Structure 1
Amino acid sequence: MVVSLPQSGADAQLAQDFVEFAVDAGVLRFGQFTTKAGRISPYFFNAGLFDDGAKMARLSEFYAKAILASGVAFDMVFGPAYKGIPLAATVAVELARQGKNVPFAYNRKEAKDHGEGGSLVGAPLQGRVLIIDDVMSAGTAARESIALIKGAGAIPYGMAIALDRQEKATENGKDVSHSAVQYVRDQLGMQVCTIAKLEDLLAFLAQGTAADSMRAHHSQVLAYRERYGVGN
């Protein structure tokens, strides 16, 4: 079983900086949002709103720092279509800038029947592959990526995501006791690297330096965690 290590002070600061960045960028929003599981969530994280060069550059820097600090071993990165595609490309660039140059690849939703053909684009999948995505809700995209990677003869070794919601997954329309991240980590045996978790969001909302409008959301997010939350 692969377990998560507790955050160091540097990791915790990186997480706080990331949450602040996501709020400032309008990517992390507060209100009432319906999740895929049909829950009413007091917050919503939409990585698609990292929508210009400066935001993507900063986002990839957070990913790269979290990945390198985690110590996860990998030989290349993979971005599942669609949101994972720009993430894998920009994170590969930032990793190279920080001294770790690795190949990257991604998939198409539909296989191409002309030109190079197939559903995979980029470097050949080989060795230990790190999957890069935004969040993990049901784990469906993770399972699809794992099947693609194994089918190519490579090893799906780890995943890197921006935010771990730390909430119960749903199976067949019912809540289960584990999160999607816990399933991938504990049942599939893959390492999971996250930039920030729900507990980091709560810490941000509770701190004295957060704007009053942010602190006002703390009780709603805390209540949501108490109802749907899981541990690490």
Structure 2
Amino acid sequence: MNNLRQQFIAFSVSKGVLRFGEFTTKAGRQSPYFFNAGLFHDGATLAELAQFYAQTLLDSGVEFDMLFGPAYKGITLASATAVALAGKGRNTSFAFNRKEAKDHGEGGTIVGAKLQGKVVIIDDVISAGTSVRESVDMIRAAGAEPCAVLIALDRMERSGPDGQLSPSSAVQEVTKQYGIPVISIGNLDDLFGYLNGAGADPELLKHKEAVSAYRTRYGI
């Protein structure tokens, strides 16, 4: 793990956003860990999270003109990342969508800057890929180009029921389907490395075996 990724995993654990135990995922799997970006819910924590998003995007080398945050979590993440980028000397416009079109005022479903140029989609995770698909459609419909997806955590696991698991992960499927890179601040390998590292809380080390077994069963 590079230092930024290590810091992000440790930060997520310290804020109770990344938790270990027994959790049921949206796919119905019993997971030994759970990541809930909705728990980054105070000003100081959001500001720190945005620094991770901004630095990861800059470090990726992806050329971009603006940010797009899909409703609902992506709205906060895109706007906070734009603020963090401005603090790093990169003033970047951003936009987000409404779930329902507004029929008065400016109308429409897009709020913020006009979608144009190369657009980075910012969200928390990719599960079924629905949010990415809708975002790509909106961006292309506006004549702009989706150039990357930036997420907090890549679970790096195959989709589908046991016995019929997909050969690729949701993130890999997005890359293949839309031809754009998916950039993550951290991933399952980083999480496992954190548990395996000397700096991990001894209480968390007991979850290492469960995470390892889960990765073996579902990981790419």
Tell me which residue corresponds to 2:46: 56
Give the superposition deviation at 1:140: 1.0
The one-letter amino acid paired with 1:182 is Q
The C-alpha deviation readout for 1:102-142, integer Å capped at 9, x for no partner, is 11000001111111111000000001100000001111110
- Other structure's SS at 1:63 match: helix
Structure 1 residue 209 corresponds to structure 2 residue 194? no
Give the superposition deviation at 1:184: 1.5
Aligned partner (choices 8, 32, 39) of residue 18 of structure 1 = 8
Tell me which residue corresponds to 2:136: 146
- Other structure's SS at 2:62 match: coil
- Other structure's SS at 1:124 match: coil
Distance, in Å, in 1 between the alignment partners of 2:93 and 2:54 is 14
The one-letter amino acid paired with 2:42 is D
- Other structure's SS at 1:170 match: coil
- Other structure's SS at 1:20 match: helix
In 2, are the aligned partners of 1:150 and 1:156 still within 8 Å (CA)?
A: yes
Distance, in Å, in 2 between the alignment partners of 1:100 and 1:191 is 21
Tell me which residue corresponds to 1:31: 21
Which 5+ residue runs of structure 1 have no aligned equivalent?
1-8
Tell me which residue corresponds to 2:213: 223
Distance, in Å, in 2 between the alignment partners of 1:68 and 1:186 is 23
Runs of 4+ in 1 over 2 A off after TM superposition: none
Tell me which residue corresponds to 1:3: none
Distance, in Å, in 2 between the alignment partners of 1:22 and 1:61 is 13
The one-letter amino acid paired with 1:195 is I
The one-letter amino acid paired with 1:34 is T
Give the superposition deviation at 1:185: 1.5
Give the superposition deviation at 1:208: 1.5
- Other structure's SS at 2:51 match: helix
- Other structure's SS at 1:175 match: coil
Give the superposition deviation at 1:187: 2.8
Identity rate, percent: 58
Structure 1 residue 82 corresponds to structure 2 residue 72? yes
Give the superposition deviation at 1:88: 0.4
Give the superposition deviation at 1:175: 2.8
Distance, in Å, in 2 between the alignment partners of 1:59 and 1:210 is 20
1:60-209 pair list within 5 angstroms: 60-170=50-160, 175-209=165-199
Distance, in Å, in 1 between the alignment partners of 2:73 and 2:160 is 22
With a CA cutoff of 8 Å and minimum separation of 6, indicate the structure with the bigger relative contact order. 1
TM-score where L is the length of structure 2: 0.97
Q: Provide the aligned C-alpha RMSD in A.
A: 1.3
Give the superposition deviation at 1:37: 0.9
- Other structure's SS at 1:130 match: strand
Give the superposition deviation at 1:179: 0.7
The one-letter amino acid paired with 2:76 is P
Give the superposition deviation at 1:174: 5.1
Distance, in Å, in 1 between the alignment partners of 2:189 and 2:11 is 16
Distance, in Å, in 2 between the alignment partners of 1:219 and 1:161 is 26
In 2, are the aligned partners of 1:138 and 1:170 still within 8 Å (CA)?
A: no
Distance, in Å, in 1 between the alignment partners of 2:96 and 2:185 is 21
* 113 and 174 in structure 1: CA distance in 2 versus 1, 3 angstrom threshold: farther
Which 5+ residue runs of structure 2 have no aligned equivalent?
none
